[in-house]
Amino acid sequence: MGELRTAGGRRALLKLGSALLLAWLLATAPGYAQGETLVIYSGRSEALVQPLIDRFVATTGINVRVRYGDTAELAATILEEGDRSPADVYWAQDAGALGALEAYDRLSPLPDELLARVDHRLQSPAGVWVATSGRARVVAYNTRLVPPSELPESIWGFTDPKWRGRIGWAPTNGSFQAFVTALRLLEGDERAEKWLRGVLANQPRVYRNNTAIVDAVGRGEIHVGFVNHYYLHRFLAEQGEKFPVRNHHTSGDAGAIINIAGVGILKSSRAKEAALRFVEFLLSPEAQEYFAQEVYEYPVLLGVEIEINPHVIPLDEINAPHLNLGDLKDLEGTLEMLQRVGVL
């Protein structure tokens, strides 16, 4: 590669560069002595939740800093950090990751008054994490390639050979694994394994995550895919109503479970009061309305009427199975099964 032309020019550039670098280092250094700061590790993406966090800051005046990342990677980070974790609050995309922190005894109990606001099935039995919003498990289908009448009422329909080469799934994804864990709980390990083998025989395509599946269904690369409901609405917002994908709900089985995004406060937190106010805020009607309207999710507050987005099918029209999300904790067993069957 090239050289800078003169030694003098090089030196001047070097000086300028290091001065700039130093100035910027000082500017970005975290303020340790700035009073109480709430640190949130968020597996929910900035695009979805930062506007809500801004509202929290505006109403409470609490100084908030957020580290955005992948839900599982942030959980692993908290585990590696141990008691020195700077995080006060962990906000996850799925219950599995919260369950992992619970299993390592990293979360502190939430007050009963707060837990009582939410259906007991959508929180940890020990009361250390609670759902902030819900999302339904659905089958996304291409409206040009699959007539609605062809879609089965039960997930078992997809083990039929007529779906060969038409299915997409994301077995590395937390929401898919929650679905398999639910299937094991509802129908037993033997049946769950049978279902997996049945779908596997139809040679499903393996995608990286839910968005990649919806995208592929839209292109017609696959005809149906197992995803969470709210991704579709992002695509409709960006590509218009002609985007040829819609959601189908199976009935009363693991294919129709309600997954959650949820939150917990770390045991090691030194800002527990502020952390609690944040969790309270997430369970306030204002925040719930935001999830329902802006993020196309389901509110989780009991006894408060919150209007959901008109594009989303109301929860009471979905026949979801009765399940405690706190019971979906045998992730290791699910992983073992997925590996034994050859899905992973």
Partner 1 sequence: MRRPRLGYRPPLPLVAAAVIVALSAALPLVYLVIRAAEAGGPAVWQLVSRPRTLQLLCNTLLLALAVSSSATVIAVPTAWLLVRTDLPWKPFWSVATVVPLTIPSLVGGYAFVAALGSGGIVHQWLSRWGIGFSGVYGAWGAWLVLTLLSYPYVLLPVRSTLQSLDPAVEEAAMSLGRSPAGVFWHVTLPALRPAIASGALLVSLYTLSDFAAVSLLQFDSFTRAIYVQYQASFNRSHAAVLGLVLVALTTLLLGVDSRLRGNKRLDRTGPGGKRKAALVKLGKWRWLAVIALGLLVLAAVGLPVGVSAAWLVRGLAHGERVVVDLGIAANSFLVSLGAAALTAIAALPVALLAARYPSRLSRIIERASYIGYALPGIVVALSLVFFGARAGGLLYQTIAMLLFAYLVLFLPQAVGAISANLALASPNLENVARSLGYTPWRVFWRVTLPLITPGVISAGALVFLTAMKELPATLLLSPIGFRTLTTSLWGAVSEAFYARAAAPALLLVGISSLSLFILLRNEGMRR
Of 62, 118, 130, 212, the one binding partner 1 by CB under 8 A: 212
Residues 237-296 that bind partner 1 (CB under 8 A): 237-240
In this complex, which beta carbon is closest to partner 1, that of residue 143 or of residue 209? 209
DSSP string across 160-214 = SGGGTTTEEE-TTSHHHHHHHHHHHHHH-HHHHHHHHHHHHHT--EE-SSHHHHH
CA pair distance 264, 104, nearest whole angstrom:
13
- Nearest to 255, CA basis, from 228, 293, 222: 228
Interface with partner 1, residue 35, by CB under 8 A = no
Work out how close the CB of 322 gets to partner 1 at its nearest, in angstroms, rounded to a whole number: 25
Least CB distance to partner 1 at residue 82 (A): 7
20 binding partner 1? (CB under 8 A)? yes
Q: What is the nearest approach in angstroms of partner 1 to the Cβ of residue 153? A: 28
d(CA 134, CA 297): 6
Sites for partner 1 among residues 43-82 (CB under 8 A): 45-48, 65-70, 72-77, 79-82
Return the residues of window 145-174 that contact partner 1 according to CB under 8 A: 172-174
Beta bridge partners of 259: 135
Residue 174 beta carbon to partner 1: minimum distance, rounded to whole angstroms? 6
Q: Given candidates 133, 247, 288, 334, which one binds partner 1 under the rule CB under 8 A?
A: 334
Q: Look up residue 162 and give its two tokens.
A: 């007529």
- Judged by beta carbon, residue 244 or residue 252, the one nearer partner 1 is 244
335 is a site residue for partner 1 (CB under 8 A): yes
Query: Taking a C-beta distance cutoff of 8 angstroms, is the pair 224, 216 a contact?
Result: no
Q: What are phi and psi of 250, to 5 degrees?
A: -80, 175
Q: Does 19 bind partner 1 (CB under 8 A)?
A: no
Residues 6+ apart with CB under 8 A from 21: none
Q: For CA atoms 118, 121, 122, 124, give the dihedral sign.
A: positive
Residue given tokens 């034994």 in the structure block: 340
Cα gap 95→315, rounded to integer Å: 19
Tell me how far, at minimum, the Cβ of 217 lies from partner 1, in Å: 10
Among 11, 19, 24, 201, binds partner 1 (CB under 8 A): 24
Q: Among residues 11, 191, 208, 270, which is the contact residue for partner 1, using CB under 8 A?
A: 208
Q: Minimal distance in Å, beta carbon 195 to partner 1?
A: 18
Q: What percent helix, strand, coil does the chain show, rounded to 5? A: 50, 15, 35
Residue from the set 206, 273, 294, 311 that interacts with partner 1 by CB under 8 A: 206
CA distances from 65 to 49, 282, 325 (A): 13, 16, 29
Q: Which stretch binds partner 1 (CB under 8 A): 109-117, 153-161, 236-244, 309-317?
A: 236-244
